[in-house]
Every structure is written in structure tokens, then in C-alpha cells.
Structure 1
Amino acid sequence: MNDVLKYTNYHQYIADYYAEKKAKSAFTWQTFTRAAGFSSPVFLKYVSEGRSNLSEDAAVRVASAMSLMGYEQEYFCEMVKLDHAKTDEEKKSIFNRMLAIADIHKVRVVEGDSFRYFDSWKNPVLRELAPAMPGAKPLALAKACRPEITAAEVSESLHFLLKSNFLQKDEKGNYVQTETGVSTGPMEVTPVAVRGMHRQMGEFALEAIEGVPQNERHFSGLTLGITQDVYDEIVQEIAAFRKRIISIATRSEAVDEVYRLNVQFFPMTKKSVKKD
């Protein structure tokens, strides 16, 4: 069975656990459910499909039924808490506890790298800046950032970027990108960090209105009355526009400054109800 510490979705872990047991024996959902102390013979089947959820108390019983003990049981229970969490801050706190358990036991949570990458604006900025400043020391990179950060913060971010293979060093010791871009992918928890990134970048955009010369920034906006169908079409157009921007930006390997492009499209009114 795959290590529970490699999962971030407890529904999927239960589904995989059952599939493996079923392949090796006459294991049934009824057997599994009874071992966890539930009366319904299909309850855990519904949980595995995402149609039902475990309570935090039930999580301990199910973990025990799957022979998860110690830190493995603790991790499984944290996954259940993560599923119940309502706010981004709560989700981040729980997921960081999951990552801490995995780190202690030297297990890499694949989604953890993506989560950590988007959790701080420093990571994507330094991923672009470090290759553009060959031979630069952390202090020089720190002073080039806007807002300015410390050399220690740069070193910490670069260490993470190298360890997680977002950057690597060439034969001269200079930083190079391993991929042209970084995508969130179909992750469970990463969107929480991405929303935090949008908040950070939104604050920087506000500061740039007064803090950056007008000939070095571009701000524009539209206020539109639309329908849901038009909204969907515009979102598709924004996605195509982003791809064209990436294509333009990557035509040349030369970089003399790192920019951030925010694309924001959000409602300014409550949805109206049409009356016949």
C-alpha cells in the first residue's frame, strides 16, 4: 500500500486502500465498515467516492481499521481535518502540520512543493531574477527585489527552489530554470496558497500606483454588464491572452527586470434575477 504520507485527500487513500485489499483477498466494504465500527455496510464506500465525509472522531476508528498507528494515524486525521476546514488560514495551518509530519519521516509530499512555492511571492520572483543575474550573491538579489528583502530570505528561497527542482545550477554555478513556467496543476491544497499569492500581489499592485513611475507600469480597467455565457467566454479569452503573453515573454532569454501581471475579473454587483 502506498505510504499515507504521500496523500493529501483521505477519500482517495481509503479508495486505494480498499482496492489493494480487494485485489489480494475476499475483502468487502461490509468487512471494512464493520471493522471501523459503522452499521451501514456501504458507508466507507460512499466516503471513498466523496459522497460522504468522516467526522474527526470517526477518522481515528477508520485509521485503526486500516492499521495506521502513531504518526500515520495522526497524518490521516489531519487530512480529515483539512477536508473540514473552512478558511484558507485554517487549511494552511493544517496542511503545514501534515508537511511537518512528512518532513520528519523523510517523505516527500508532491503537492507540498507546489504549496510552498506559491505560499510566498519571493519564490516566483527569485525563480525569474536569479537566472537573470548570473553570479549575483544573495545580498545583491535581495536589493534588486521590490519590496527589498534580506539576504537570509533570498538564501532560504533559493535553497527551496533548488531542493524542489524549480531551479538548478549549471556548470558555472549559475542558476537556470528547469522549466519555462510553473503551473498549479490539479492539486487539492495548492489553490489555498495561490489565493494567498494573489492577495500579496494585489497589495504590491496598490503600492505600485504611487511607488512606481507611470512609464514603468500599466494599469487599466473595464466595467461591464454581462451574462453568465459572456462571463464564460471572457474567461476563455483571458486564458488565451495569458498564453500569448507567455509566448511573447519567452521569445528571448534576455531579462533585465522581473514584472508581475495581475489579471482580475470580478463582480461589482450581486447577480440580478430576471422577471418575466
Structure 2
Amino acid sequence: MKPILEYKDYRAYMQDYYDYRKSHGAFSWREFCKLAGFTSPNFLKLVCTGQSSLSKIKIAPVAKAMGLAGFEAEYFGLMVTYGNATKDSDKKAALLEMERIAREHRVRVVDADAFQYYESWKYPVIRELAPMMPGAQPRKIADECKEYVSAEEVRDILAFLVKAGFLKKDGEKIYSQTEQTVIGSKEALPIAIRAMHKEMGNMAVRAVDRYSASERFITGATLGVCEEAYSRIVEEVSNCCKKVVDIANEYKDLNQVYRINFQFFPCTGKVKEEHHA
């Protein structure tokens, strides 16, 4: 089976372990549970199917039952912490620790890059802005940003963008964009993007008063929907966003960085139909 460092889902790892053992000899859920100290003969099967969760105090016995020790046992514990966490902050902390362990043991993962890229508006904005200002000093780039960023931050961000492959350095302080996009696991990326949505949403609120109507466009509608209407609207907005990107890419003489947000969220709970006698 695959090395544990290639997993993010502890249930998937346990299921693969069980399947591997079973394919190489007599092995049952009853035996697996007994090795891990459970009296229920199918509890671990329920865990693997998502019908139950592995508690913190049972991490070590289950890891030992699967022959895990050292960094592998630690990694398994972090997978359980991630899988059971309900807060984004706890999930992020667990994933970053998993990334650290994987990096130390020479397994390439990109979740840390995803978190760093999305942790602030500064990364995507400077990625767009730097190629428009060939030869510019970090201080000049910082001065063009509407939100505060220091010259030292700009210098560090540019170094990260080049190292991570999001920008290419063509000369002294001359940058161009690459085809590179942020690639992260399906577990990490949603957490990182949620943080960016929150930050860009706050910037949009400030933009209402900061800029004149000729510099910004803000509109909206409040409407009633059903599940089918919701799905159709989401698809339409998604297609619109892609079209906006296509339009921007048609032009070469770019001279400013903009952000476009789409927000479509519930303002009420679902109204249940009442049946009257």
C-alpha cells in the first residue's frame, strides 16, 4: 500500500491498511479491533465508513495495531486531528504539521504554498502588479497598493512567488507570470481560500466609501430561490467569472489590479411548508 505520508484522510488509510492485510492473508475487522483494544468487533469498520470517529485516546492503540511508530504514528495522529476538527484553525494547524513531517522525510506536498499564497491579499495582488512595473523597487510597488504593505514585505513576497513558481524573474526586478496555479490537496485548499474570501470581503466593504462610483462597481439583488434555482445561479455566476477572466486576458497593456467578488449567500433559514387541517 502507499506510504502513510501520501494520505490526508485517516479513514482512507485505515481502510487501505485493512484491505492490504486481508489480501495477504486471513484478517478480519474483529481481529483488527482486538489488536487495537476494542471490544466491539466492527467499530473500526464503522470508523472507516464514516459512521463513527476515532477518539483522541484511541489514536495510539490503533496506530500501534497498524505497526506505526515514530513519525508515522505522529502523522497518523495528525490525520485524525484534522479529520475530526470542526474549526478551520485546527484543521490548518494539523495540515501544516503534516506538511512539515512530509517535508522532513522528503515527500513533496504543496499545501503550505497554498496556505501562504491565500493568507493575504498581498500575494495575488503583487503577483499581478509586479509584471506591470518592470525594474520597479519594492518601495514603488508597495506605494501603488491601495492597502498598506511595506517594502520589506513586497521583497519577501516576490521571493516567495518566484521560488514557488508563480512568477518568473526575467532580469533585475523584472517579472513575468507563469502558468503556475496554486495546487493543494482537496482538504487544504478550501480552508486557505476561505481565509482569502474573508479578507477580500472586508476590502470590498472598505471600497464602498473609499472609491467613487466611477472607480468601482457594486451591485446586488435580494431574491427568493429554491434548490434548483440556487444551482442554476451558481453555475451562471461561475461562468460569468470565467468570462471576466477571459476578457481581462484579451488585453496586454494592463496598468492596474482589480478584484472582483461574487457573493451569493442565505439571509434566512429554509421555510418549511405548513400543512393545515
TM interval, shorter chain, is 0.7 to 0.9
CA contact (8 A) 1:6 1:108 kept: no
Instruction: Give the distance between the partners of 1:172 and 1:22, measured in 2 at CA.
Output: 59
Q: Give the total of aligned pairs.
A: 275
CA contact (8 A) 1:7 1:109 kept: no
Instruction: Give the distance between the partners of 1:28 and 1:183, measured in 2 at CA.
Output: 38
Partner of 2:49: 49
CA contact (8 A) 2:137 2:173 kept: no
Higher relative contact order (CA 8 A, sep 6+): 1
Instruction: Give the distance between the partners of 2:229 and 2:173, measured in 1 at CA.
Output: 50
Measured against aligned partners, the alpha-carbon deviations of 1:125-154 in whole angstroms (never above 9, x if no partner) come to 122222222233332222222212112222
Question: Could you tell me how far 1:218 is from its partner in structure 2?
Answer: 0.7
Instruction: Give the distance between the partners of 1:7 and 1:180, measured in 2 at CA.
Output: 24
CA contact (8 A) 2:96 2:111 kept: no
Q: Does 1:203 align with 2:196?
A: no
Residues 19 and 178 from structure 1, CA distance in 2 versus in 1: closer, same or farther, beyond 3 angstroms?
Answer: farther
More off after superposition, 253-262 vs 95-104: 95-104
TM-score normalised to structure 2 length: 0.86
Partner of 2:267: 268
Greater Cα radius of gyration, structure 1 or 2:
2
Question: Could you tell me how far 1:54 is from its partner in structure 2?
Answer: 0.9
- Give the AA of the match of 2:61: R
Instruction: Give the distance between the partners of 1:144 and 1:18, measured in 2 at CA.
Output: 57
Partner of 2:241: 242
SS of equivalent to 1:116: helix
Measured against aligned partners, the alpha-carbon deviations of 1:44-70 in whole angstroms (never above 9, x if no partner) come to 334333333211111111222222222
Partner of 1:68: 68
- Give the AA of the match of 1:36: A
- Give the AA of the match of 1:248: I
Q: Does 1:115 align with 2:121?
A: no
Question: Could you tell me how far 1:240 is from its partner in structure 2?
Answer: 1.2
Superposed CA RMSD: 2.6
Instruction: Give the distance between the partners of 1:245 and 1:227, measured in 2 at CA.
Output: 27
Instruction: Give the distance between the partners of 1:32 and 1:17, measured in 2 at CA.
Output: 10
Residues 86 and 252 from structure 1, CA distance in 2 versus in 1: closer, same or farther, beyond 3 angstroms?
Answer: same
- Give the AA of the match of 2:241: R
- Paired-residue identity, %: 43
Name stretches of at least 5 consecutive residues in structure 2 with no aligned partner. none
Instruction: Give the distance between the partners of 2:245 and 2:228, measured in 1 at CA.
Output: 26
TM-score normalised to structure 1 length: 0.86
Partner of 1:140: 140
Partner of 1:17: 17
CA contact (8 A) 1:6 1:110 kept: no
- Give the AA of the match of 1:212: Y
Instruction: Give the distance between the partners of 1:130 and 1:26, measured in 2 at CA.
Output: 61
